[in-house]
Structure 1
Amino acid sequence: MSKKKRDIPVFEQPIIETHCHLDYLEGDDLDAALAEALAVNVEKIVTISVSPDNLAKVRQLTGHERIWGTQGIHPHEAELFTDETETEIRAHGGDDKIVAIGEIGLDYYYDHADRKVQQQVFERQLQIAVDLDKPIVVHTREADDDCRAILSNYSQHLKKKGVIHSFTSSLALAEYCLGEGFMLGFNGIITFNRAENVREVLDATPLDQMVTETDAPYLTPAPYRGKPNAPKYLPFIVEKIAEVKGLDCAAVLTQTYDNAQRLFWR
Protein backbone atom coordinates (compact mmCIF):
# COMPACT_ATOMS: atom_id res chain seq x y z
CA MET A 1 0.00 0.00 0.00
CA SER A 2 1.48 3.33 -1.08
CA LYS A 3 2.12 5.99 1.50
CA LYS A 4 -0.19 8.99 1.29
CA LYS A 5 1.59 12.10 0.09
CA ARG A 6 1.47 15.21 2.23
CA ASP A 7 -1.33 17.62 1.44
CA ILE A 8 -0.48 20.83 -0.36
CA PRO A 9 0.03 23.61 2.22
CA VAL A 10 -2.41 26.50 2.08
CA PHE A 11 -1.09 29.92 3.05
CA GLU A 12 -3.18 32.96 3.86
CA GLN A 13 -0.99 35.18 1.69
CA PRO A 14 -1.46 35.08 -2.09
CA ILE A 15 1.08 33.55 -4.49
CA ILE A 16 1.84 34.47 -8.10
CA GLU A 17 2.66 31.79 -10.65
CA THR A 18 5.18 33.51 -12.91
CA HIS A 19 5.83 30.71 -15.41
CA CYS A 20 3.71 27.80 -16.58
CA HIS A 21 2.24 26.40 -19.78
CA LEU A 22 -1.50 26.11 -19.27
CA ASP A 23 -2.09 24.97 -22.83
CA TYR A 24 0.15 21.94 -22.16
CA LEU A 25 -1.65 20.63 -19.09
CA GLU A 26 -3.06 17.20 -19.79
CA GLY A 27 -5.93 15.38 -18.14
CA ASP A 28 -7.17 18.51 -16.40
CA ASP A 29 -9.38 21.04 -18.03
CA LEU A 30 -8.51 24.66 -17.57
CA ASP A 31 -11.32 25.40 -15.14
CA ALA A 32 -10.24 22.56 -12.84
CA ALA A 33 -6.58 23.62 -12.90
CA LEU A 34 -7.53 27.20 -12.07
CA ALA A 35 -9.90 26.13 -9.30
CA GLU A 36 -7.21 23.97 -7.70
CA ALA A 37 -4.73 26.84 -7.89
CA LEU A 38 -7.21 29.26 -6.34
CA ALA A 39 -7.84 26.77 -3.53
CA VAL A 40 -4.21 27.19 -2.42
CA ASN A 41 -4.33 30.97 -2.88
CA VAL A 42 -2.57 31.28 -6.24
CA GLU A 43 -3.87 34.69 -7.24
CA LYS A 44 -2.35 35.32 -10.68
CA ILE A 45 -0.97 32.98 -13.33
CA VAL A 46 1.38 33.84 -16.21
CA THR A 47 1.22 31.32 -19.05
CA ILE A 48 4.18 31.33 -21.41
CA SER A 49 4.38 31.10 -25.18
CA VAL A 50 7.11 29.01 -26.79
CA SER A 51 6.39 28.60 -30.50
CA PRO A 52 4.65 30.29 -33.43
CA ASP A 53 1.88 27.73 -33.00
CA ASN A 54 0.90 28.81 -29.48
CA LEU A 55 1.26 32.59 -29.59
CA ALA A 56 -2.44 32.98 -30.34
CA LYS A 57 -3.43 30.27 -27.84
CA VAL A 58 -1.65 32.12 -25.04
CA ARG A 59 -3.43 35.33 -26.00
CA GLN A 60 -6.73 33.48 -25.95
CA LEU A 61 -6.04 32.13 -22.45
CA THR A 62 -5.46 35.66 -21.15
CA GLY A 63 -9.16 36.28 -21.64
CA HIS A 64 -9.58 34.70 -18.21
CA GLU A 65 -9.48 37.25 -15.41
CA ARG A 66 -6.68 35.48 -13.50
CA ILE A 67 -4.42 34.64 -16.46
CA TRP A 68 -1.74 36.79 -18.09
CA GLY A 69 0.64 35.75 -20.85
CA THR A 70 3.81 36.35 -22.83
CA GLN A 71 4.77 36.38 -26.50
CA GLY A 72 8.02 34.81 -27.64
CA ILE A 73 9.75 31.84 -29.22
CA HIS A 74 11.71 29.26 -27.19
CA PRO A 75 15.23 28.40 -28.40
CA HIS A 76 14.05 24.86 -29.24
CA GLU A 77 11.77 26.43 -31.86
CA ALA A 78 14.22 29.07 -33.11
CA GLU A 79 14.34 27.65 -36.63
CA LEU A 80 10.59 28.31 -36.94
CA PHE A 81 11.05 32.02 -36.27
CA THR A 82 10.21 34.10 -39.37
CA ASP A 83 9.61 37.73 -40.22
CA GLU A 84 5.90 36.96 -39.87
CA THR A 85 6.53 35.60 -36.37
CA GLU A 86 8.32 38.80 -35.42
CA THR A 87 5.47 40.86 -36.82
CA GLU A 88 2.96 38.91 -34.72
CA ILE A 89 4.99 39.27 -31.53
CA ARG A 90 5.42 42.98 -32.13
CA ALA A 91 1.73 43.40 -32.89
CA HIS A 92 0.60 41.73 -29.67
CA GLY A 93 3.54 42.29 -27.30
CA GLY A 94 1.89 45.45 -26.10
CA ASP A 95 -1.54 43.91 -25.46
CA ASP A 96 -3.00 44.70 -22.05
CA LYS A 97 -2.55 41.21 -20.63
CA ILE A 98 0.77 40.38 -22.28
CA VAL A 99 3.35 41.06 -19.58
CA ALA A 100 6.67 40.06 -21.18
CA ILE A 101 8.58 38.87 -24.22
CA GLY A 102 9.44 35.23 -23.72
CA GLU A 103 10.28 32.47 -23.41
CA ILE A 104 13.45 33.40 -25.28
CA GLY A 105 17.09 32.40 -24.95
CA LEU A 106 19.56 29.63 -25.67
CA ASP A 107 19.56 25.87 -25.09
CA TYR A 108 22.79 24.04 -25.90
CA TYR A 109 21.84 20.98 -23.85
CA TYR A 110 19.32 19.63 -26.37
CA ASP A 111 20.50 21.61 -29.41
CA HIS A 112 17.11 21.25 -31.08
CA ALA A 113 17.99 24.28 -33.21
CA ASP A 114 21.27 25.42 -34.73
CA ARG A 115 23.17 27.49 -32.18
CA LYS A 116 23.77 30.40 -34.54
CA VAL A 117 20.05 30.52 -35.31
CA GLN A 118 19.26 30.42 -31.60
CA GLN A 119 21.58 33.37 -31.02
CA GLN A 120 20.08 35.39 -33.88
CA VAL A 121 16.51 34.73 -32.76
CA PHE A 122 17.40 35.56 -29.16
CA GLU A 123 18.85 38.89 -30.30
CA ARG A 124 15.86 39.72 -32.49
CA GLN A 125 13.47 39.10 -29.61
CA LEU A 126 15.60 41.07 -27.18
CA GLN A 127 15.30 43.99 -29.58
CA ILE A 128 11.51 43.56 -29.60
CA ALA A 129 11.53 43.77 -25.79
CA VAL A 130 13.64 46.92 -25.94
CA ASP A 131 11.38 48.51 -28.54
CA LEU A 132 8.17 47.63 -26.66
CA ASP A 133 9.64 48.41 -23.22
CA LYS A 134 8.79 44.93 -21.92
CA PRO A 135 10.62 42.66 -19.48
CA ILE A 136 12.00 39.41 -20.82
CA VAL A 137 11.58 35.77 -19.75
CA VAL A 138 14.82 33.95 -20.50
CA HIS A 139 15.52 30.24 -20.88
CA THR A 140 19.21 29.34 -20.78
CA ARG A 141 20.76 25.90 -20.47
CA GLU A 142 24.41 24.93 -20.94
CA ALA A 143 24.93 28.27 -22.69
CA ASP A 144 26.27 30.52 -19.94
CA ASP A 145 28.98 32.33 -21.88
CA ASP A 146 26.89 33.10 -24.95
CA CYS A 147 23.85 34.03 -22.87
CA ARG A 148 25.90 36.49 -20.87
CA ALA A 149 27.57 37.93 -23.98
CA ILE A 150 24.25 38.50 -25.73
CA LEU A 151 22.49 39.88 -22.66
CA SER A 152 25.36 42.30 -22.10
CA ASN A 153 24.58 43.93 -25.45
CA TYR A 154 20.96 44.59 -24.49
CA SER A 155 20.78 44.78 -20.70
CA GLN A 156 21.33 48.54 -20.45
CA HIS A 157 18.49 49.11 -22.90
CA LEU A 158 16.04 46.82 -21.08
CA LYS A 159 14.58 49.22 -18.55
CA LYS A 160 12.26 46.58 -17.10
CA LYS A 161 14.92 43.83 -17.20
CA GLY A 162 13.18 40.47 -16.68
CA VAL A 163 13.67 37.01 -15.23
CA ILE A 164 16.02 34.12 -15.93
CA HIS A 165 13.47 31.38 -15.42
CA SER A 166 14.06 27.89 -14.02
CA PHE A 167 17.57 28.90 -13.08
CA THR A 168 19.98 25.95 -13.26
CA SER A 169 23.09 27.69 -14.58
CA SER A 170 26.32 28.61 -12.82
CA LEU A 171 26.66 30.85 -9.80
CA ALA A 172 28.80 33.11 -11.99
CA LEU A 173 25.95 33.66 -14.46
CA ALA A 174 23.54 34.16 -11.57
CA GLU A 175 25.78 36.84 -10.08
CA TYR A 176 26.06 38.60 -13.44
CA CYS A 177 22.29 38.58 -14.01
CA LEU A 178 21.53 39.70 -10.46
CA GLY A 179 24.08 42.47 -10.81
CA GLU A 180 22.32 43.66 -13.95
CA GLY A 181 19.00 43.81 -12.10
CA PHE A 182 17.37 40.64 -13.41
CA MET A 183 15.37 38.29 -11.21
CA LEU A 184 15.81 34.52 -11.01
CA GLY A 185 12.90 32.11 -11.20
CA PHE A 186 12.91 29.02 -8.98
CA ASN A 187 10.64 25.99 -9.32
CA GLY A 188 10.37 22.33 -8.35
CA ILE A 189 14.01 21.67 -9.17
CA ILE A 190 14.96 23.17 -5.81
CA THR A 191 13.21 20.21 -4.12
CA PHE A 192 15.11 17.56 -6.11
CA ASN A 193 17.68 15.50 -4.18
CA ARG A 194 20.52 16.12 -6.64
CA ALA A 195 19.94 19.84 -7.15
CA GLU A 196 22.48 21.15 -4.64
CA ASN A 197 23.91 23.45 -7.32
CA VAL A 198 20.53 25.13 -7.77
CA ARG A 199 20.02 25.44 -4.02
CA GLU A 200 23.47 27.05 -3.79
CA VAL A 201 22.35 29.70 -6.29
CA LEU A 202 19.04 30.09 -4.46
CA ASP A 203 20.88 30.66 -1.19
CA ALA A 204 23.04 33.33 -2.85
CA THR A 205 20.08 35.12 -4.46
CA PRO A 206 18.66 38.10 -2.56
CA LEU A 207 15.04 37.52 -1.56
CA ASP A 208 14.01 40.66 -3.43
CA GLN A 209 15.36 39.25 -6.72
CA MET A 210 13.56 35.93 -6.98
CA VAL A 211 10.12 34.80 -8.14
CA THR A 212 8.16 31.57 -7.75
CA GLU A 213 7.18 29.41 -10.71
CA THR A 214 6.27 25.83 -11.56
CA ASP A 215 7.04 25.50 -15.31
CA ALA A 216 3.97 23.23 -15.30
CA PRO A 217 3.38 20.64 -16.58
CA TYR A 218 7.10 19.94 -16.10
CA LEU A 219 9.39 19.75 -13.03
CA THR A 220 6.83 18.72 -10.43
CA PRO A 221 8.19 19.34 -6.92
CA ALA A 222 8.64 16.70 -4.24
CA PRO A 223 6.63 15.01 -2.86
CA TYR A 224 4.56 14.84 -6.06
CA ARG A 225 7.32 14.04 -8.58
CA GLY A 226 6.01 11.70 -11.23
CA LYS A 227 2.69 13.50 -11.52
CA PRO A 228 2.03 16.28 -14.06
CA ASN A 229 2.95 19.62 -12.56
CA ALA A 230 0.39 22.39 -12.00
CA PRO A 231 0.26 25.85 -10.40
CA LYS A 232 -1.39 24.32 -7.32
CA TYR A 233 2.03 22.95 -6.26
CA LEU A 234 3.56 26.42 -5.79
CA PRO A 235 3.31 26.25 -1.98
CA PHE A 236 6.00 23.55 -1.98
CA ILE A 237 8.33 25.95 -3.80
CA VAL A 238 7.65 28.62 -1.19
CA GLU A 239 8.40 26.16 1.62
CA LYS A 240 11.70 25.09 0.10
CA ILE A 241 12.82 28.66 -0.51
CA ALA A 242 12.06 29.42 3.14
CA GLU A 243 14.02 26.36 4.27
CA VAL A 244 17.09 27.13 2.14
CA LYS A 245 17.09 30.82 3.05
CA GLY A 246 16.42 30.20 6.74
CA LEU A 247 13.29 32.33 6.68
CA ASP A 248 9.66 31.85 7.57
CA CYS A 249 7.20 31.24 4.75
CA ALA A 250 5.36 34.51 5.41
CA ALA A 251 8.48 36.53 4.59
CA VAL A 252 9.03 34.56 1.39
CA LEU A 253 5.39 34.92 0.35
CA THR A 254 5.32 38.67 0.94
CA GLN A 255 8.56 39.42 -0.88
CA THR A 256 8.15 37.10 -3.87
CA TYR A 257 4.62 38.40 -4.42
CA ASP A 258 5.96 41.96 -4.48
CA ASN A 259 8.81 40.89 -6.77
CA ALA A 260 6.39 39.42 -9.31
CA GLN A 261 4.25 42.54 -9.17
CA ARG A 262 7.33 44.70 -9.86
CA LEU A 263 8.50 42.40 -12.62
CA PHE A 264 5.30 42.21 -14.63
CA TRP A 265 2.76 44.76 -13.46
CA ARG A 266 4.55 47.94 -12.37
Structure 2
Amino acid sequence: MSKKRREIPVFDHPIIETHCHLDYLKDRPLSDTLEQSQRVNIEKVITIAVSPDNLTAVRELAGSADWVFGTQGIHPHEAETYTDEVEAEIRQHATDDKIVAVGEIGLDYFYDNADRSVQREVFRRQLQIACDSDRPVVIHSRDADDDTIAILKEFEHSLERRGVIHSFTSGPGLAQYAIDQGWCLGFNGITTFNKAENVRDIVRMTPIEQILLETDAPFLTPVPYRGRENAPFYLPFVAEKIADVKELPMDQVLSQTYQNSLRTFFPHQ
Protein backbone atom coordinates (compact mmCIF):
# COMPACT_ATOMS: atom_id res chain seq x y z
CA MET A 1 0.00 0.00 0.00
CA SER A 2 1.39 3.40 -0.95
CA LYS A 3 2.00 5.93 1.77
CA LYS A 4 -0.56 8.74 1.82
CA ARG A 5 0.96 12.11 1.08
CA ARG A 6 0.48 14.99 3.48
CA GLU A 7 -2.17 17.51 2.63
CA ILE A 8 -0.89 20.90 1.56
CA PRO A 9 -0.76 23.16 4.62
CA VAL A 10 -2.84 26.33 4.58
CA PHE A 11 -1.46 29.29 6.48
CA ASP A 12 -3.31 32.41 7.56
CA HIS A 13 -0.68 34.70 6.04
CA PRO A 14 -0.73 35.20 2.26
CA ILE A 15 2.20 33.99 0.15
CA ILE A 16 3.61 35.41 -3.08
CA GLU A 17 4.81 32.91 -5.69
CA THR A 18 7.80 34.78 -7.13
CA HIS A 19 8.83 32.35 -9.88
CA CYS A 20 6.90 29.82 -11.94
CA HIS A 21 6.15 29.04 -15.57
CA LEU A 22 2.36 28.86 -15.91
CA ASP A 23 2.53 28.30 -19.66
CA TYR A 24 4.57 25.11 -19.08
CA LEU A 25 1.99 23.46 -16.80
CA LYS A 26 0.31 20.49 -18.48
CA ASP A 27 -1.27 18.21 -15.88
CA ARG A 28 -4.44 20.19 -15.19
CA PRO A 29 -6.36 23.16 -16.58
CA LEU A 30 -4.74 26.46 -15.64
CA SER A 31 -7.98 27.63 -14.05
CA ASP A 32 -7.83 24.65 -11.67
CA THR A 33 -4.21 25.40 -10.78
CA LEU A 34 -4.99 29.03 -10.02
CA GLU A 35 -8.09 28.14 -8.01
CA GLN A 36 -6.19 25.60 -5.92
CA SER A 37 -3.38 28.13 -5.40
CA GLN A 38 -5.83 30.65 -4.04
CA ARG A 39 -7.22 28.01 -1.67
CA VAL A 40 -3.79 27.70 -0.02
CA ASN A 41 -3.53 31.50 0.26
CA ILE A 42 -1.25 32.25 -2.69
CA GLU A 43 -2.02 35.95 -3.14
CA LYS A 44 0.10 36.76 -6.20
CA VAL A 45 1.80 34.68 -8.87
CA ILE A 46 4.68 35.81 -11.10
CA THR A 47 5.04 33.76 -14.28
CA ILE A 48 8.42 34.00 -15.96
CA ALA A 49 9.45 34.54 -19.58
CA VAL A 50 12.39 32.56 -20.94
CA SER A 51 12.44 32.74 -24.75
CA PRO A 52 11.21 34.72 -27.75
CA ASP A 53 8.51 32.07 -28.12
CA ASN A 54 6.81 32.80 -24.80
CA LEU A 55 7.19 36.56 -24.31
CA THR A 56 3.67 37.09 -25.66
CA ALA A 57 2.24 34.11 -23.78
CA VAL A 58 3.55 35.48 -20.49
CA ARG A 59 1.99 38.89 -21.17
CA GLU A 60 -1.32 37.23 -21.95
CA LEU A 61 -1.17 35.15 -18.77
CA ALA A 62 -0.35 38.27 -16.75
CA GLY A 63 -3.49 39.83 -18.13
CA SER A 64 -5.67 36.82 -17.35
CA ALA A 65 -6.23 37.63 -13.65
CA ASP A 66 -5.58 40.67 -11.51
CA TRP A 67 -3.29 38.65 -9.19
CA VAL A 68 -1.13 37.13 -11.96
CA PHE A 69 1.95 39.04 -13.08
CA GLY A 70 4.80 38.38 -15.50
CA THR A 71 8.32 39.17 -16.63
CA GLN A 72 10.04 39.71 -19.95
CA GLY A 73 13.44 38.27 -20.71
CA ILE A 74 15.52 35.59 -22.40
CA HIS A 75 17.01 32.65 -20.47
CA PRO A 76 20.72 31.89 -21.04
CA HIS A 77 19.75 28.62 -22.71
CA GLU A 78 18.11 30.75 -25.41
CA ALA A 79 20.83 33.41 -25.66
CA GLU A 80 21.60 32.61 -29.28
CA THR A 81 18.00 33.48 -30.22
CA TYR A 82 18.43 37.02 -28.85
CA THR A 83 18.16 39.63 -31.61
CA ASP A 84 17.66 43.37 -31.85
CA GLU A 85 13.99 42.67 -32.52
CA VAL A 86 13.68 40.53 -29.39
CA GLU A 87 15.40 43.22 -27.38
CA ALA A 88 13.01 45.83 -28.75
CA GLU A 89 10.04 43.68 -27.69
CA ILE A 90 11.42 43.26 -24.17
CA ARG A 91 12.09 46.99 -23.91
CA GLN A 92 8.63 47.86 -25.19
CA HIS A 93 6.85 45.73 -22.60
CA ALA A 94 9.23 45.89 -19.63
CA THR A 95 7.22 48.77 -18.18
CA ASP A 96 3.75 47.30 -18.80
CA ASP A 97 1.55 47.47 -15.72
CA LYS A 98 1.49 43.71 -15.22
CA ILE A 99 5.19 43.14 -16.00
CA VAL A 100 7.21 43.35 -12.79
CA ALA A 101 10.76 42.38 -13.79
CA VAL A 102 13.27 41.65 -16.52
CA GLY A 103 14.04 37.95 -16.50
CA GLU A 104 14.80 35.14 -16.51
CA ILE A 105 18.29 36.23 -17.53
CA GLY A 106 21.80 35.15 -16.63
CA LEU A 107 24.43 32.50 -17.28
CA ASP A 108 24.33 28.71 -17.43
CA TYR A 109 27.67 26.97 -17.88
CA PHE A 110 26.31 23.60 -16.74
CA TYR A 111 24.33 22.82 -19.89
CA ASP A 112 26.15 25.27 -22.18
CA ASN A 113 23.16 25.38 -24.51
CA ALA A 114 24.49 28.67 -25.87
CA ASP A 115 28.01 29.93 -26.44
CA ARG A 116 29.33 31.44 -23.21
CA SER A 117 30.45 34.68 -24.80
CA VAL A 118 26.97 35.10 -26.28
CA GLN A 119 25.40 34.38 -22.89
CA ARG A 120 27.53 37.11 -21.30
CA GLU A 121 26.65 39.65 -23.98
CA VAL A 122 22.92 38.91 -23.76
CA PHE A 123 23.06 39.04 -19.95
CA ARG A 124 24.64 42.50 -20.09
CA ARG A 125 22.16 43.78 -22.66
CA GLN A 126 19.19 42.67 -20.57
CA LEU A 127 20.65 44.09 -17.36
CA GLN A 128 20.83 47.39 -19.21
CA ILE A 129 17.15 47.09 -20.11
CA ALA A 130 16.36 46.65 -16.42
CA CYS A 131 18.39 49.72 -15.54
CA ASP A 132 16.78 51.81 -18.26
CA SER A 133 13.25 50.70 -17.35
CA ASP A 134 13.72 50.78 -13.56
CA ARG A 135 12.74 47.13 -13.23
CA PRO A 136 14.22 44.46 -10.95
CA VAL A 137 15.91 41.43 -12.48
CA VAL A 138 15.34 37.69 -12.10
CA ILE A 139 18.70 35.96 -12.53
CA HIS A 140 19.57 32.38 -13.39
CA SER A 141 23.14 31.35 -12.57
CA ARG A 142 24.47 27.81 -12.76
CA ASP A 143 28.15 26.86 -12.62
CA ALA A 144 28.95 30.47 -13.54
CA ASP A 145 29.50 32.14 -10.18
CA ASP A 146 32.62 34.14 -11.05
CA ASP A 147 31.25 35.55 -14.31
CA THR A 148 27.87 36.30 -12.73
CA ILE A 149 29.59 38.34 -10.01
CA ALA A 150 31.86 40.09 -12.50
CA ILE A 151 28.97 41.17 -14.72
CA LEU A 152 26.74 42.21 -11.82
CA LYS A 153 29.59 44.39 -10.53
CA GLU A 154 29.40 46.34 -13.78
CA PHE A 155 25.81 47.30 -12.90
CA GLU A 156 26.09 47.68 -9.13
CA HIS A 157 25.25 51.37 -9.09
CA SER A 158 22.32 51.11 -11.51
CA LEU A 159 20.19 48.19 -10.32
CA GLU A 160 19.45 49.74 -6.92
CA ARG A 161 19.49 46.45 -5.04
CA ARG A 162 16.34 45.16 -6.68
CA GLY A 163 16.67 41.65 -7.91
CA VAL A 164 16.84 37.97 -7.10
CA ILE A 165 19.11 35.09 -7.98
CA HIS A 166 16.41 32.51 -8.30
CA SER A 167 16.53 28.78 -7.58
CA PHE A 168 19.79 29.35 -5.78
CA THR A 169 22.13 26.35 -6.03
CA SER A 170 25.43 28.21 -6.37
CA GLY A 171 28.26 28.51 -3.90
CA PRO A 172 28.65 30.69 -0.81
CA GLY A 173 30.78 33.23 -2.68
CA LEU A 174 27.97 34.25 -5.01
CA ALA A 175 25.49 34.06 -2.15
CA GLN A 176 27.56 36.39 0.01
CA TYR A 177 28.09 38.83 -2.86
CA ALA A 178 24.33 38.98 -3.48
CA ILE A 179 23.60 39.37 0.22
CA ASP A 180 26.15 42.17 0.56
CA GLN A 181 24.56 43.96 -2.38
CA GLY A 182 21.13 43.78 -0.78
CA TRP A 183 19.78 41.28 -3.32
CA CYS A 184 17.41 38.42 -2.57
CA LEU A 185 17.98 34.72 -3.08
CA GLY A 186 15.10 32.56 -4.28
CA PHE A 187 14.57 29.10 -2.81
CA ASN A 188 12.19 26.38 -3.96
CA GLY A 189 11.53 22.67 -3.65
CA ILE A 190 15.24 21.85 -3.86
CA THR A 191 15.44 22.85 -0.19
CA THR A 192 13.35 19.75 0.64
CA PHE A 193 15.51 17.27 -1.31
CA ASN A 194 17.51 14.80 0.78
CA LYS A 195 20.80 15.48 -1.01
CA ALA A 196 20.50 19.28 -1.07
CA GLU A 197 22.36 20.08 2.14
CA ASN A 198 24.50 22.54 0.18
CA VAL A 199 21.38 24.56 -0.61
CA ARG A 200 20.16 24.39 2.98
CA ASP A 201 23.58 25.72 4.05
CA ILE A 202 22.94 28.77 1.85
CA VAL A 203 19.48 29.16 3.38
CA ARG A 204 21.13 29.21 6.82
CA MET A 205 23.57 31.97 5.83
CA THR A 206 20.95 34.12 4.08
CA PRO A 207 19.16 36.69 6.25
CA ILE A 208 15.43 36.04 6.29
CA GLU A 209 15.05 39.63 5.07
CA GLN A 210 16.62 38.54 1.76
CA ILE A 211 14.81 35.27 1.04
CA LEU A 212 12.09 34.84 -1.58
CA LEU A 213 9.80 31.82 -1.93
CA GLU A 214 9.27 30.22 -5.34
CA THR A 215 8.37 26.91 -6.93
CA ASP A 216 9.91 27.16 -10.44
CA ALA A 217 6.87 25.08 -11.44
CA PRO A 218 6.50 22.78 -13.30
CA PHE A 219 10.01 21.82 -12.18
CA LEU A 220 11.53 20.90 -8.79
CA THR A 221 8.40 19.66 -7.02
CA PRO A 222 8.99 19.63 -3.25
CA VAL A 223 8.82 16.63 -0.96
CA PRO A 224 6.34 14.99 -0.38
CA TYR A 225 5.06 15.39 -3.95
CA ARG A 226 8.25 14.72 -5.90
CA GLY A 227 7.45 12.91 -9.12
CA ARG A 228 4.38 15.03 -9.81
CA GLU A 229 4.31 18.18 -11.89
CA ASN A 230 5.05 21.14 -9.66
CA ALA A 231 2.57 24.00 -9.21
CA PRO A 232 2.29 27.22 -7.20
CA PHE A 233 -0.02 25.56 -4.67
CA TYR A 234 2.92 23.47 -3.38
CA LEU A 235 4.67 26.63 -2.18
CA PRO A 236 3.63 26.14 1.48
CA PHE A 237 5.99 23.14 1.66
CA VAL A 238 8.88 25.41 0.69
CA ALA A 239 7.86 27.92 3.37
CA GLU A 240 7.78 25.11 5.95
CA LYS A 241 11.28 23.96 5.04
CA ILE A 242 12.69 27.49 5.20
CA ALA A 243 11.19 27.90 8.68
CA ASP A 244 12.65 24.56 9.74
CA VAL A 245 16.14 25.24 8.38
CA LYS A 246 16.24 28.81 9.73
CA GLU A 247 14.71 27.70 13.06
CA LEU A 248 12.24 30.55 12.87
CA PRO A 249 8.51 30.73 13.61
CA MET A 250 6.36 30.12 10.56
CA ASP A 251 4.59 33.44 11.00
CA GLN A 252 7.90 35.29 10.85
CA VAL A 253 8.99 33.47 7.69
CA LEU A 254 5.69 34.11 5.95
CA SER A 255 5.47 37.74 6.98
CA GLN A 256 9.07 38.58 6.11
CA THR A 257 9.21 36.76 2.77
CA TYR A 258 5.94 38.45 1.83
CA GLN A 259 7.47 41.85 2.57
CA ASN A 260 10.61 40.87 0.67
CA SER A 261 8.49 40.00 -2.37
CA LEU A 262 6.64 43.31 -2.22
CA ARG A 263 9.90 45.24 -1.84
CA THR A 264 11.45 43.48 -4.82
CA PHE A 265 8.59 43.33 -7.30
CA PHE A 266 5.80 45.57 -6.04
CA PRO A 267 7.58 48.52 -4.37
CA HIS A 268 4.60 50.85 -4.74
CA GLN A 269 2.15 48.63 -2.86
TM range (shorter): over 0.9
The corresponding residue for 1:13 is 13
Determine if contact 2:161/2:181 at 8 Å carries over to the other structure.
no
Determine if contact 1:155/1:161 at 8 Å carries over to the other structure.
no
Whether 1:92 aligns to 2:88 is: no
The corresponding residue for 1:236 is 237
The corresponding residue for 1:41 is 41
The corresponding residue for 1:153 is 154
Q: Distance in 2 between matches of 1:112 and 1:75?
A: 8
The corresponding residue for 1:25 is 25
Q: Distance in 1 between matches of 2:197 and 2:159?
A: 31
Determine if contact 2:22/2:47 at 8 Å carries over to the other structure.
yes
The corresponding residue for 2:134 is 133
Whether 1:253 aligns to 2:259 is: no
Q: Distance in 2 between matches of 1:86 and 1:25?
A: 26
Determine if contact 1:106/1:122 at 8 Å carries over to the other structure.
yes
Shift of residue 28 of structure 1? 1.2
Give the secondary-structure state (helix, strand or coil) at the position aligned to 2:185. Answer: strand
Determine if contact 1:104/1:125 at 8 Å carries over to the other structure.
yes
Q: Distance in 1 between matches of 2:74 and 2:28?
A: 25
Q: Distance in 2 between matches of 1:115 and 1:125?
A: 15
Whether 1:227 aligns to 2:219 is: no
Q: Distance in 1 between matches of 2:82 and 2:233?
A: 32
What residue identity is the alignment partner of 1:50?
Answer: V
Shift of residue 160 of structure 1? 4.8
Q: Runs (4+) of structure 1 moved beyond 3 Å? A: none
Task: Return 43-52 or 62-71, whichever deviates more.
Answer: 62-71
What residue identity is the alignment partner of 1:228?
Answer: E
Percent of pairs identical after alignment?
A: 61
Deviations 1:131-172 (A, max 9, x none): 001100000000000000000001211125200000000011
What residue identity is the alignment partner of 2:66?
Answer: E
Aligned length: 266
The corresponding residue for 1:183 is 184
Determine if contact 1:133/1:160 at 8 Å carries over to the other structure.
no
TM-score (ref. length: structure 2) = 0.98
User: Structure 2 matches for 1:60-71, cutoff 5 A?
Assistant: 60-63=60-63, 64-71=65-72
Determine if contact 2:104/2:138 at 8 Å carries over to the other structure.
yes
Whether 1:102 aligns to 2:98 is: no
Give the secondary-structure state (helix, strand or coil) at the position aligned to 2:186. Answer: strand
Shift of residue 181 of structure 1? 1.1
Q: CA RMSD in A?
A: 0.6
Shift of residue 74 of structure 1? 0.1
Give the secondary-structure state (helix, strand or coil) at the position aligned to 2:54. Answer: helix
What residue identity is the alignment partner of 2:30?
Answer: L
The corresponding residue for 1:56 is 56
TM-score (ref. length: structure 1) = 0.99
Shift of residue 130 of structure 1? 0.5
Whether 1:72 aligns to 2:73 is: yes
Determine if contact 1:106/1:143 at 8 Å carries over to the other structure.
yes
The corresponding residue for 1:213 is 214
Give the secondary-structure state (helix, strand or coil) at the position aligned to 2:155. Answer: helix
